[in-house]
Structure 1
Amino acid sequence: PSIIIDRISNNKWNCSYLWSILSAEHLKNYDYWDCLWFPYYKSNTSQRKKMLTWVKDKEVFLKKYSFVPICIMGHWSLVILCHKEEDDLPFIMLLDSFHSIDPTKLVRPIQRFLKDIYATKNKTAIANAMSSIDISIPSVTQQTNGTECGFFVLYYIYHFIQNDPPSFSLDDYPSFVSYAPLSNYTS
């Protein structure tokens, strides 16, 4: 883990790097979405259409867990989609390292984004239910300044995969999102 902190500090860290250091066995249940999808979706109608066209050809919703890094107004948060079965409604978590900006304000834009993604992938029943699906916002380790949010998104992904819940159950929640302080990873 100290090499991870070092790589992040030297700007050599991203989801691709994270995927390269984890075993195929660790990653069999996970995928991550391109971090540009959400900003393109939010920018304007023409960009939204382009983004949804890209998504149509991508293999999303095939794994138990999907990590969706999002950035709104320069702040990074992480959405985790937990899929029990292919056509079941997902359990959705929003992990945010800076609760003082009120992450509940992100719920509606995230729901609209996911609704359009599900519709694009012909998952109409889930798309239609998206506005009524709760997005859980658990308490997670918080950043201490205004510049660490991207680091925390990667930390949340890494920690979630390291805990590797064998299957998702509401009984397990929120125990599998209990994050150790970052200081545990810096020594």
Structure 2
Amino acid sequence: MGKRQRPGTSSGIITIDLDSPASEDFENHPSKQYARSRRIAKKQGEETKCSTIVSSCSVETFPHGHKSKKRLKGKDAISESKKKLDTRAFDIHFKNLWRNFSEDKRMPFTYFDSLWFAAYMTSSSKECMLTWIKEKHIFSKPYVLVPIVYWRHWSLLIFCNLGESLQSESSPPCMLLLDSLQMAGPRRLEPAIRKFLFDIYKSGGRPESRESILQIPLLVPKVPQQRNSEECGNYVLYFISLFMEQAPENFRMKDYPSFMTDEWFNLEGLKNFCEQLKPLEK
């Protein structure tokens, strides 16, 4: 491994061979153990703080219903699935959906927790979110699924080809924003999304300039639209399901919007999808 030097008493410098048993005494010195425990405690404290912020964000963004042990069945379960999903229900359905895909289908994808974007928007939790995102290694994946719940509405942001060169002619980075309520103006989130993306690049130590990152296209395909205010969460889950099933190995700008049109799916397909969502324990 090498050698390390530390102050001595007579010659001024003591050399420690890190491959020798003596190095264990140095590494296990009480001062080293104390410093290590301080670092661990600090990290645990930061993680607890982040988790607390995310939990409060969940309550503020989309309140959960009252918990009970009753399990819904039959028509009650179908009726429940038509209600606007809170973050707890969405995450459970999403993780079940994710597990149902084969490893090969999941390979090109990674995803963010549904509360990360909303939590990032609060200054007190921004650094936590960027740290967690860095651990996702998103620049090695063709697709990053980012469910967004903001202003009490669900939409789906997809980062494509973030690891590719911004000058790539075949598969340059781009963003897709799938919104089932386009009449509300999905581009109102664009300034926040672009700042989010810039901070992701910056925290990941990427060499791209701010100007080039801000030029990454944000595309808003005309996908099927919801019929009432309660359906947006189910639409996002269905967007995810169909996108993972149909997405090409490499998303190319010249193929846009590809399969993502207002005829992408019909109401019967959405209904069948919602009925297949596993009922949740309350």
Q: Does the CA-based 8 Å contact 2:179-2:223 persist in structure 1?
A: yes
TM-score w.r.t. the length of structure 1 is 0.86
Contact map agreement 2:138 2:162 (CA 8 A) in 1: no
2:203 is aligned with 1:120? yes
Measured in 2, the distance between the counterparts of 1:177 and 1:183 equals: 17
Aligned to 1:29: 108
Q: 2:119 aligns with which of 40, 62, 83?
A: 40
Which structure has the greater CA radius of gyration?
Answer: 2
* Among 94, 98, 101, the residue aligned to 1:15: 94
Secondary structure (helix, strand or coil) at the match of 1:176 reads coil
C-alpha distance 162-151 of structure 1, shift in aligned 2 (>3 A): same
Bigger CA drift: 84-93 or 114-123? 84-93
C-alpha separation in 1, matches of 2:270 and 2:132: 36
**What is the match of residue 130 of structure 2?**
52
Counterparts of 1:153-172 in structure 2, within 5 Å, are 153-172=236-255
Contact 1:61 1:83 in 2 (8 A): yes
Once the two structures are overlaid, the 10-residue window that deviates more, 147-156 or 117-126, is 117-126
User: Which amino acid in 2 is paired with 1:173?
Assistant: Y
Distance 1:129 1:23 in 2: 36
Alpha-carbon distance, 1:122 to partner: 1.0
Q: Report the identity percentage.
A: 36
> Which runs of no fewer than 5 residues in structure 2 stay unpaired?
1-76, 83-88, 167-171, 273-282
For residues 92 and 85 of structure 1, the distance between their equivalents in structure 2, rounded to whole angstroms, comes to 13
Say if 2:139 and 2:162, in contact at 8 Å, map to a contact too.
no
Q: Deviation at 1:152?
A: 1.0
In structure 2, do the counterparts of structure 1 residues 186 and 18 end up closer, same or farther at CA, with 3 Å as the change threshold? Answer: same
- How many matched pairs? 182
What does 1:92-131 align with in structure 2 at a 5 Å threshold?
A: 92-125=175-208, 128-131=211-214
Task: Give distance in 1, aligned partners of 2:222 and 2:181.
Answer: 10
Distance 2:205 2:165 in 1: 11
Q: Indicate how the Cα distance of structure 1 residues 109 and 84 shifts in structure 2: closer, same or farther if over 3 A, else same.
A: closer
- Does the aligned pair in 1 maintain the 2:112–2:144 contact within 8 Å? yes
Aligned AA (2:81)? S
C-alpha displacement of 1:102: 0.5
| Greater displacement, 107-116 / 127-136 | 127-136
Partner of 1:138 in structure 2? 221
**Structure 1 residues 78-123: Cα deviation after superposition (integer angstroms, max 9, x where no partner):** 1111107544451111100001111111111111111111111112
Instruction: Tell me the secondary structure at the aligned position of residue 227 of structure 2.
Output: coil
Q: Secondary structure at the match of 2:259?
A: helix
Inter-partner Cα distance in structure 1 for 2:99 and 2:222 = 29
Cα separation, partners in 2 of 1:84 and 1:47, compared to 1, 3 Å: closer
Q: Which residue of 236, 256, 267 corresponds with 1:173?
A: 256
Q: Structure 1 residues 57 and 175 mapped into 2: Cα distance closer, same or farther (>3 Å)? A: closer
Q: Deviations over 1:38-87 (max 9, x none)?
A: 111112x2211222232233322221111111121111111111107544
The residue type equivalent to 2:226 in the other structure is Q
Runs of 4+ deviating beyond 3 Å: 10-13, 84-89
Query: For the residues of structure 2 that align with 1:176 and 1:119, how far apart are their CA atoms?
Result: 32
1:184 is matched with which residue?
269
1:83 aligns with 2:161: yes
Q: Aligned-residue CA RMSD in angstroms?
A: 2.4
Question: What corresponds to 2:142 in structure 1?
Answer: 64
Shift of the 21–127 alpha-carbon distance from structure 1 to 2, 3 Å rule, reads farther
